[in-house]
């Protein structure tokens, strides 16, 4: 019913919070240093973190590897609270990557200045038996990347299934419960522990206590979000600056889902409305029922600021309303390293007594964060074309499966303490 891995990064023991069991990160990551936060935190899982070293301005990615069921969708959430562990006033800015696909820049500066943690959420389909979630230093700042918590939750197949996750991922921009000025709606109200932020700074907030079954509503939103709503009068337009904030100037594709339920209109009446985004018709003559419904678009172009407008349709018995909404940026997935090459590299890694610290996750992608010593061909199916581990102080065996790297043109293993045969 609820399947997930909840990792308290840097912790040495588990903890249960809000009915969720958090576990230490040992066994999921092989690099980095656990660090304790010396300042007060809002939640116990923020009291420790794992920091990853930036050495000699060589930028690497450091990955958690989570066992998963291939070809299923997973919600991934990363949480960050700096706590001054690097000795700098401002937190580092760095990248996060999932299965070789660039997810987002992690910039927690504003939240941290306001005393808050930052979280990022996305929906991904793994490319193999493990899902790799990575942080990577870049040129934004010169201090070590870190992570406080990592969640990987299995989603039901019917959630967000209008998106082709074999070639795309979704990065959360906003998820709100409208008309709600209270706490975040999360588990157990949301069975997948999605966070629905309150969005309620409006005088026309209305509430309803009528029960609603969400089993037939696309994406299975929690019934809690239908207990509040934003609404306006029959002749008034309900206008929201939503999602809040400013999107990038360059137009991107976005998945937008809006949730509605009319729990107050009397029997025999119909509440109908038109929906527009930035003045462009999103849905016309939507009839909002007591059973609830969602309307969505999976390739909607947006940039800059966004205005959501809802107006009554002719013949409607009531004004427009809205209960909840989600916006995700659609992220095209990059290619991957050929499976045979990945298996050979993992065998080689396991045969070393002290493999390079960044030999986890996707070997070739993103290209600027390929594994140390590896050069790849590029393209949808990357091949390893060069292996240069000269002078890295490695010891152990040269695995015979190195022969499976059939695209190799160059091998350099000198000045190490390795033994074995290169086929």
Q: Where are the beta strands (DSSP E) in 314-383?
A: 321-322, 324-332, 336-337, 374-376, 381-382
CA distances from 234 to 273, 314, 322 (A): 10, 10, 14
Give the three-class secondary structure for 226.
helix
Which residues on neighbouring strands pair with residue 168, listed in sequence order?
A: 332
Mean of pLDDT values over 270-297: 94
Mean pLDDT for 318-347 is 95
d(CA 309, CA 293): 18
- Residue of 129, 103, 128, 102 whose CA lies nearest to 369: 102
Residue with tokens 């990347």: 145
Beta carbons within 10 angstroms of residue 108's beta carbon: 23
Instruction: Give the pLDDT band of residue 138 (cuts 50, 70, 90).
Output: confident
Cα→Cα distances 417→41, 158, 355, 393, 400, Å: 45, 52, 12, 7, 16
Q: What is the DSSP letter of 225?
A: G
Q: How far apart are CA 50 and CA 35, in angstroms?
A: 6
Provide the mean pLDDT of the chain.
92
Answer yes or no: is pLDDT of 201 > 90.
Answer: no
Structure tokens at 174: 């906003």
Q: What is the rounded distance in angstroms from the CA atom of residue 253 to the CA atom of residue 368? A: 25
User: Residue 220 pLDDT more than 70?
Assistant: yes
Distance CA 378, CA 359 (A): 18
Give the per-residue pLDDT at 205: 46
Give Dmax over CA atoms of the chain in angstroms: 83
Segment 141-190, tens digit of pLDDT: 877 999 999 999 999 999 999 999 999 999 999 999 999 888 899 999 99
The candidate with the shortest Cα–Cα distance to 297, out of 254, 248, 240, is 254
Lowest mean pLDDT among 110-119, 197-206, 343-352: 197-206
Matching fold, domains 4-155 and 336-419: no
For residues 407-414, average pLDDT: 94
**Residue 215, Cβ density class (10 Å: 0-12 exposed, 13-18 middle, ≥19 buried):** exposed
What confidence score (pLDDT) does residue 102 get? 96
| Half-sphere CA count of 358, side-chain side, radius 13 A | 26
Domain 336-419 architecture: Alpha-Beta Horseshoe (3.80)
CATH no. of 171-332: 2.60.120.260
For residues 37-49, give the mean pLDDT: 92
d(CA 192, CA 153): 7
Of all residues in the chain, the percent with pLDDT exceeding 90 is: 80
The residue whose two tokens read 């025999």 is 268
Report the pLDDT value the prediction gives residue 200, as an integer from 0 to 100. Answer: 76
**Confidence bin at 203 (pLDDT 50/70/90):** very low
As a whole number, mean pLDDT of residues 11-29 equals 95
Q: Give residue 417's pLDDT band: very low, low, confident or very high (50, 70, 90).
A: very high
Question: Domain spans of the chain?
Answer: 4-155, 171-332, 336-419
Mean pLDDT calculated for residue range 315-330: 95
Is residue 77 over pLDDT 70?
A: yes
Q: Does domain 4-155 have CATH number 1.10.150.20?
A: no
Task: Give percent of the chain with pLDDT exceeding 70.
Answer: 96
The pLDDT score that the predictor gives to residue 396 is: 96
User: Rounded to two decimals, what is the model's pTM?
Assistant: 0.93
Confidence bin at 335 (pLDDT 50/70/90): confident
pLDDT of residue 304: 96
Q: How many Å apart are CA 25 and CA 149, to the nearest integer?
A: 9
CB neighbour class for 259 (10 Å; exposed up to 12, middle 13-18, buried from 19) = buried
Under the banding of pLDDT at 50, 70 and 90, the label for residue 53 is: confident
* For range 238-258, the mean pLDDT: 95
Section 63-81 average pLDDT: 96
Per-residue pLDDT band at 267 (split at 50, 70, 90):
low
């Amino acid at each position: 019913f609820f399947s997930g891995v909840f990792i308290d990064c840097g912790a040495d023991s588990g903890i249960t919070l809000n009915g969720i069991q958090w576990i230490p990160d040992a066994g999921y990551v092989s690099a980095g240093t656990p660090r304790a936060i010396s300042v007060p935190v809002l939640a116990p899982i923020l009291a420790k973190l794992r920091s990853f070293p930036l050495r000699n301005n060589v930028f690497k990615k450091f990955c958690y590897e989570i066992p998963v069921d291939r070809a299923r969708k997973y919600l991934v959430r990363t949480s960050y609270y700096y706590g001054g562990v690097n000795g700098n006033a401002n937190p580092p800015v760095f990248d996060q990557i999932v299965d070789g696909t660039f997810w987002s820049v992690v910039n927690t500066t504003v939240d941290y200045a306001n005393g808050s943690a930052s979280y990022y959420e996305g929906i991904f389909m793994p490319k193999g038996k493990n899902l790799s979630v990575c942080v990577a230093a870049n040129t934004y700042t010169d201090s070590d990347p870190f992570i406080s918590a990592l969640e990987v939750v299995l989603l039901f197949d019917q959630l967000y299934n209008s998106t082709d996750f074999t070639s795309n991922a979704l990065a959360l921009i906003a998820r709100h419960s409208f008309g709600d000025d209270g706490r975040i709606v999360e588990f157990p109200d949301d069975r997948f522990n999605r966070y629905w932020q309150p969005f309620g700074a409006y005088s026309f907030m209305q509430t309803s206590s009528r029960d609603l079954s969400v089993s037939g509503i696309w994406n299975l939103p929690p019934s809690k979000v239908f207990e509040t709503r934003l609404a306006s009068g029959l002749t008034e337009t309900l206008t929201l600056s939503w999602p809040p904030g400013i999107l990038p100037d360059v137009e991107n594709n976005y998945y937008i889902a809006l949730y509605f339920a009319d729990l107050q209109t009397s029997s025999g009446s119909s509440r109908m409305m038109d929906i527009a985004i930035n003045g462009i018709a999103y849905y016309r003559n939507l009839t909002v029922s007591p059973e609830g419904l969602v309307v969505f678009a999976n390739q909607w172009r947006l940039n800059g600021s966004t205005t959501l407008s809802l107006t009554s349709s002719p013949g409607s018995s009531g004004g427009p309303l809205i209960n909840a909404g989600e916006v995700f940026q659609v992220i095209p997935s990059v290619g991957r390293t050929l499976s045979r090459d990945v298996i050979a590299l993992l065998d080689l890694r396991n045969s070393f007594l002290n493999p390079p610290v960044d030999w986890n996750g996707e070997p070739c992608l993103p290209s600027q964060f390929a594994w140390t010593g590896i050069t790849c061909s590029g393209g949808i199916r990357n091949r390893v074309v060069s292996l240069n581990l000269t002078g890295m102080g490695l010891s152990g065996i040269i695995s015979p499966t190195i022969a499976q790297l059939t695209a190799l043109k160059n091998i350099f293993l000198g000045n190490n303490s390795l033994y074995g045969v290169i086929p």
